[in-house]
Structure 1
């Protein structure tokens, strides 16, 4: 008899948490300033119009990103998500709340929005919860390349770019696609969490004529700047010869005037 009671209690406990919530297994990646949909749905499909839907960050159950209850969105959102969060369709064919689509829409994304999000759905006798990861990225500005002539005939090239997240990588290449060794690279994080990068390298005409500086987050997400150093090296190297030529010319002219008089 006791065994039967225990089995029945276990069945009741399992039934009370039988609502299945599904989210994508892979992180969602979105850019700063954009709008993103965090998909979440009930499986098998169930009308969610009368359920409680709660989206919240890690350990912030009572301070939700969005709370839907009693047929409407409640005005208890975490302050930074006011006017930025809403329920949305994960696809045009999802059917919305009536068919168990409880996806979250976030607008005007910030760096601080990155991290774990919990999708929690509960009814009178059941509930379900899953978590997913949102990764925030930002493509920075096109690199600006600045040359500076060195005494040994080489050119030191500085490459600067800002507005990146997370920390980008920097690579230098020649016009032939050969990798050039950087002299150094530094990263600076601003108050808004955005990252600026500064890299530099010294090259000569024997190394390359056209130098490229690429700043990237991952393949396909990069910005590139190029600089033709041939004109710079030739211009600088001809400088002393030009000065010597004009000095000799002036002296010759002065000598000729003196002889005439």
Structure 2
């Protein structure tokens, strides 16, 4: 009886490429791992592994063959892509884990990636979806008084992707109606947002402007309306006049005191 052993690699007659149904989400500039593995788990070191986008099969994001990554990558993914383990519990290629690691994520990386694995007589592929987001800067609030006693507040922020939602709220967490919202997109494809609203001291004590993504991430800033809007114009006028009067009185006292000192000094010199 003869036994044929597996010297370096044993493969099943067939395998299936498995990928998650949920899309992966990551920020611009970060690192993301797109999971892909073969089932049943087998050593994939001798297989051909190709990650590519859309119909760019011949210009792959990564191409692994003959036990190493081949230098035929699409230029924008050069030095940014590699094979990695999906988790610490994974055995990597020896365990059939052919997950892709992408570094320095860009907005252009958003979309679908195909994980293609082939052996001598079988192949299979799966599609992984990546969503790329950018959390913008904290909103900056600018108050400007209006002729009717209200305060116009503008809210500005930049570096967002995709477009964020803008929400104005009072200190009682009541939604305030914005006066308007404008958005612009830069050369880096990220969005800048400018919004504004008009409020009085009767509307709220604190007013907040928040910008949020569908992922639930947000940035928020607040402004104290009472600190920038006088609650009573007559009271404000009274305090202004009072301060002016105190300053005038102080000046008069100093003038007389200085005059008195000057008079005494002159008298002494005469003696």
**TM-align CA RMSD:** 2.3
**Contact 2:113 2:129 (8 Å CA) reproduced:** yes
Counterpart in the other structure of 1:21:
17
Q: Which runs of 4+ in 1 moved over 2 A?
A: 235-247
**2-structure distance, mates of 1:63, 1:87:** 17
TM-score by length of 1: 0.84
Which residues in structure 2 correspond to 1:119-198 (within 5 Å)? Answer: 119-198=115-194
Structure 1 gaps of 5+ residues are 1-16, 251-261
Question: How far has the Cα of 1:239 moved from its partner?
Answer: 6.0
**2-structure distance, mates of 1:36, 1:207:** 45
**2-structure distance, mates of 1:242, 1:94:** 73
**2-structure distance, mates of 1:51, 1:102:** 10
Which residues in structure 2 correspond to 1:76-95 (within 5 Å)? Answer: 76-95=72-91
Counterpart of 2:205 (choices 209, 232, 254) is 209
**1-structure distance, mates of 2:93, 2:177:** 56
TM-score by length of 2: 0.81
Question: How far has the Cα of 1:218 moved from its partner?
Answer: 3.0
Counterpart in the other structure of 1:103:
99
Offset from partner CA, 1:36-80 (integer Å, 9 cap, x none) = 110000000111111100000111100000000011000011111
Question: How far has the Cα of 1:232 moved from its partner?
Answer: 1.2
Counterpart of 2:71 (choices 61, 69, 75) is 75
Question: How far has the Cα of 1:30 moved from its partner?
Answer: 0.5
Which residues in structure 2 correspond to 1:231-242 (within 5 Å)? Answer: 231-234=227-230, 237=233, 238=236, 242=240
Which residues in structure 2 correspond to 1:1-80 (within 5 Å)? Answer: 18-80=14-76
Change in CA separation of 1:208 and 1:235 when aligned onto 2, cut-off 3 Å: closer
Total equivalences in the alignment? 234
